[in-house]
Chains A and B, each alone.
Chain A
């Protein structure tokens, strides 16, 4: 006579999940002055805006989970969002066996444990996907926020470069700037 039995297996696992996203683009810096001078102007402007110089010469600012890195020499901008989280997941499965037919208890338990492992993997995949979405959304949001600032940086560097160029060409008599229209008029005597 066969007797049915039920086993319940419970597994839990903790993993440290990381997700990130980044874009890389180029600043539109006009070559008004030699590249070295343009890089110096850009570096100074970035310092004024809270960027810190790294060992490799790049300037970096951490805005929450998003890091903005600019290489003043090449004008390359990297905006990188990273997020990480320690996630704990639990899974539980019941299985029924018979003591005279089918797998014995040990085999049944192993099989259920294997299924539980797959369940956990799926749950962690979903968590990973959620984190990835968060990182990408953070990046997109930050890109929208930082775009006006990047434009201001480029405009400021261009204005400074034009002023320096004018000084090299002659004696500057008058400089008129209109912040609203962005126009810059330099009168100089050559």
Chain B
């Protein structure tokens, strides 16, 4: 881009490379690694290395940090799905267009707090995986843009289990709802996950960010589900599955309460991508090695946990049933129409029937005839229910 093409409120770009110290150079490379613009292996080497921290950063480095954050975060959101001409709810009414057409500039301005810079200083100066210097940012002080940044940073570090083990203990990540709806299995070390508050995700800038992330999340969850069949460790499967189930269920319940069913679309699309044909539970549990835990209760619990995503179709099916009952003069009519269109586009009835069949196959005390779905079982939901409206 030429200098003349730059926005009028930006200072002119210098002609040559700008001068920064060694520490600042590392910090900028780590920042670019977190933002997905620097090779992962080199970035992880930098966060695992320590360097003496200066008293403060130079003006040039600060400018470059601001520049990277502002450009890369917006670029990421646009690429993740903000560019799509899509429809989302605004006060119960569908609003179409690309992210910047649906949302005014004031509503989509990313503002980063000092915690981002402090984290960058800490990550550059310390070996993250064996640091003795405490750093954390209270979750309540984080802006939506901070949460987006910390989510990106965590995602970039996920390849290194040592680094992830340290980061997930910090409030900035542990209480970040974006982390929980993206990779809940990495956010917990126990079978009983402690979830963050999901309600803030459905208002203001956080909701706008979530709109942009819909295609990205659907793709991520689809890949994750397809890779689940490779998990061999029963304990890992149980832990991951339980975290996924708890996080997605809490997220969808919060979305339903906030009347933002459109933001749960990625769960529907993930299931639609998976259930293009009938699937057996072995699709998820086929990789488990050995006979598993001695107790049947634990084995069953692990297998149920593995199907955390198909089990969410129960909630989405409930939304669909509710939408069918919304009348023309009800306030939620437009929103329910939009949900029904989403449901129809994803072939929701067939997907829900296939997901239900897969989940029920795991259940004991079910007669084989009732648990195995007949061929073309999608028709079942349309023909058999007694109390469902047409």
Contact = CB atoms under 8 A, between A and B. Distances in A.
Interface of A: 21-23, 25-28, 30-32, 77, 79, 129, 132-133, 136, 139-140, 143, 146-148, 150-151
Contact of A25 (B294, B365, B367, B387): B365
B296 A28 contact: no
B365 A21 contact: no
B363 A25 contact: yes
A132 B294 CA distance: 7
A28 B366 contact: yes
Nearest to B368: A147
Interface of B: 294-297, 300, 363-367, 370, 386-387
B370 to A, nearest CB: 6
Contacts of A30: 386
Contact of B297 (A21, A26, A27, A129): A21
B294 A147 contact: no
B373 to A, nearest CB: 13
Listed residue (B296, B297, B365, B370) with the most chain A CB atoms within 10 angstroms of its CB: B365
Contacts of A146: 365
Contacts of A136: 294-296
A27 B366 CA distance: 8
A94 to B, nearest CB: 34
A178 to B, nearest CB: 16
A23 B364 contact: yes
Nearest to A151: B367
B364 to A, nearest CB: 5
B386 A32 contact: yes
Contacts of A31: 386-387
B295 A28 contact: no
A147 B367 contact: yes
A22 B386 CA distance: 33
Contact of A21 (B296, B363, B366, B370): B296
Contact of A26 (B300, B363, B370): B363
A132 B365 contact: no
Contacts of B367: 147-148, 151
Contacts of B365: 25, 27, 77, 79, 143, 146-147, 150
A96 B104 CA distance: 86
A180 to B, nearest CB: 14
B227 to A, nearest CB: 28
Given A79-B365, A147-B367, 7 more contacts: A21-B295, A27-B365, A28-B366, A31-B387, A129-B294, A132-B294, A147-B365
Contacts of B364: 23, 25, 79, 143, 147
A141 B8 CA distance: 77
Contacts of A23: 296-297, 300, 364
B368 to A, nearest CB: 9
Nearest to A25: B363
A27 B365 CA distance: 8
A28 B365 CA distance: 10
Given A23-B364, A146-B365, A147-B365, A28 B297 contact: no
Contacts of A21: 295-297
B296 A140 contact: yes
